[in-house]
């Protein structure tokens, strides 16, 4: 019998997907509705995501328009955006909120690249923790007698190869996001 790495590979893949999703919330030079993903507003007593209470449009590369389905929550949306770490002052005209994205300063770009590097490092730690879990699983199976010494060596190599593959993917995702941040 050999060791099945599929479960660990799917978890490593999920780690990369979560990282990419997190990167979507980091503002670059152009407007993107993804930067609003983490912002919630109280809607009938329940914290609700912005896209759950409003239509979000991108009329041009530097502007987002948030049009709530009920104008009664305009103030709540405005407060939530102002309290977030977006660094943009919402403009409320009574019907919708307009967000104008100024170009990023060099200093702000460098801050964002540090943030992406930190997030990438956290993702690598998660992948390495999965490697550790897989290796512990391999040792248990060896102890149970379901894996031979040769199977253990092959399984450990397969897990290490998987780890190396996903660490490399994370490095590529971080580099791509940093390039995107620095080019605008």
What's 40's domain CATH number? 3.30.1360.40
The owner of tokens 């590369």 is 61
- Partnered with residue 46 across adjacent β-strands are 43
State yes or no: pLDDT of 10 exceeds 80.
Answer: yes
Strand 91-92 to 63-68 pairing: unpaired
The predicted-structure confidence for 59-92, as pLDDT tens digits, reads as follows 887 888 889 988 888 888 888 888 887 778 888 8
What span, in angstroms and rounded, lies between the C-alpha atoms of 63 and 54? Answer: 16
Does one domain contain both 95 and 63? yes
Question: Which of the listed residues 53, 83, 100 is the one where a domain comes to its end?
Answer: 100
What domain range is 85 assigned to? 30-100
Residue ranges with strand state E in the chain: 40-43, 46-49, 54-60, 63-68, 91-92, 97-100
For residue 140, the domain's CATH number is 1.10.132.20
| In-domain check, residue 1 | no
Secondary structure of residue 117 in the 3-state scheme:
helix
Same domain, 167 and 110: yes
Q: What Rg value do the Cα atoms of the chain yield, rounded?
A: 22
Same domain, 52 and 95: yes
Average pLDDT, the chain: 87
């Amino acid at each position: 019998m050999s060791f099945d790495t599929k479960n660990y590979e799917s978890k490593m893949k999920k780690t990369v997907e979560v990282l990419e999703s997190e990167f979507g919330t980091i503002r670059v030079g152009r407007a993107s509705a993804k930067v609003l993903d983490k912002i919630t507003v109280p809607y009938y007593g329940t914290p609700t995501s912005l896209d759950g209470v409003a239509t979000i449009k991108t009329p041009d590369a530097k502007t987002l328009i948030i049009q709530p389905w009920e104008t009664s929550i305009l103030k709540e949306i405005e407060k939530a955006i102002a309290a977030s770490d977006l660094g943009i002052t919402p403009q409320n005209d009574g019907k919708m909120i307009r967000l104008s994205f100024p170009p990023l300063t060099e200093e702000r770009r460098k801050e964002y690249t540090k943030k992406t590097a930190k997030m990438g490092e956290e993702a690598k730690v998660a992948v390495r923790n999965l490697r550790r879990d897989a290796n512990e699983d391999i040792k248990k199976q060896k102890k149970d007698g379901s894996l031979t010494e040769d199977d253990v060596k092959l399984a450990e190599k397969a897990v290490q190869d998987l780890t190396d593959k996903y660490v490399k993917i994370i490095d590529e995702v971080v580099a791509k996001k940093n390039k995107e941040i620095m080019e605008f």
